[in-house]
A = this chain, B = another copy of it.
Amino acid sequence: MLQTFYAHNHKPTARDIRRANRLAVLHQLLAHGPMSRQELSRRCDLSLATVCNVIADLLNEGIVVESGLEESQGGRPGMILALNAGLGVVAGVDVAETYIHFELFDLALHRLGAFERHLSPDENQPEQIVGYLVTGLEALLARSGVPASKLVGAGISVPGPFEHTRGVSVFAPNWGWRDVPLMDMLAEQIHVPLYLDNPLKFNVIAESWFGAGRGVQNLVALVLGTGVGAGLVINGTLHRGISNSAGEWGHTTIVFGGRQCRCGSRGCVEAYVGAPGIILTLREFAPGSEILTAGDQTAVIAALAEAARRGDAVAQQALRQTAEYLGAGIANVINLLNPEMIVLGSWVGLEIGPLILADLERAVERYALKPPLRTVRIVVGQALPNAVSTGAGLLALDQFLAESGSGTNRRRRQSE
Contact = CB atoms under 8 A, between A and B. Distances in A.
Scoring A11, A13, A216 by chain B CB atoms within 10 A of each residue's CB, the highest score goes to A11
B8 A208 contact: yes
A362 to B, nearest CB: 13
A186 interface: no
A233 interface: yes
Interface in A326-380: 328-329, 331-333, 335-340, 366-367, 369-372, 374-376
A246 B161 contact: no
A371 B337 contact: no
B9 A24 contact: yes
Q: Give the interface residue-count category, chain A.
A: 35 or more
Contact of A338 (B20, B243, B325, B369): B243
Given A236-B7, A258-B256, A371-B245, A230 B171 contact: no
A7 B245 contact: no
A171 B370 contact: yes
A314 to B, nearest CB: 21
A263 B9 contact: no
Contacts of A5: 205, 237-238, 395, 398
A143 interface: no
Nearest to A245: B371
Contacts of A164: 1-2
Given A4-B16, A374-B243, A395-B5, A328 B256 contact: yes
A302 B331 CA distance: 33
A3 B241 CA distance: 12
A265 interface: yes
A31 B8 contact: yes
Contacts of A252: 331-332, 335-336
A165 interface: yes
A10 B217 contact: yes
Per assembly, the copies of the chain total 2
A253 B31 contact: no
A215 interface: yes
A338 B240 contact: yes
Interface in A157-198: 161, 163-165, 168, 171, 173
Given A234-B239, A338-B244, A371-B243, A13 B17 contact: yes
A313 interface: no
Interface string A215-228: 11111000000000
Scoring A325, A328, A335 by chain B CB atoms within 10 A of each residue's CB, the highest score goes to A335
Interface of A: 1-14, 16-17, 20-21, 23-24, 27, 31, 44, 161, 163-165, 168, 171, 173, 205, 208-209, 213-219, 230, 232-249, 251-256, 258, 263, 265, 267, 325, 328-329, 331-333, 335-340, 366-367, 369-372, 374-376, 395, 398-399, 402, 416
28 contacts: A1-B164, A2-B240, A4-B238, A5-B205, A6-B24, A7-B236, A8-B209, A9-B215, A10-B235, A17-B17, A173-B369, A218-B242, A234-B234, A241-B337, A241-B338, A241-B339, A241-B372, A242-B339, A242-B372, A243-B371, A243-B372, A243-B375, A246-B372, A248-B369, A252-B335, A253-B332, A255-B256, A256-B328
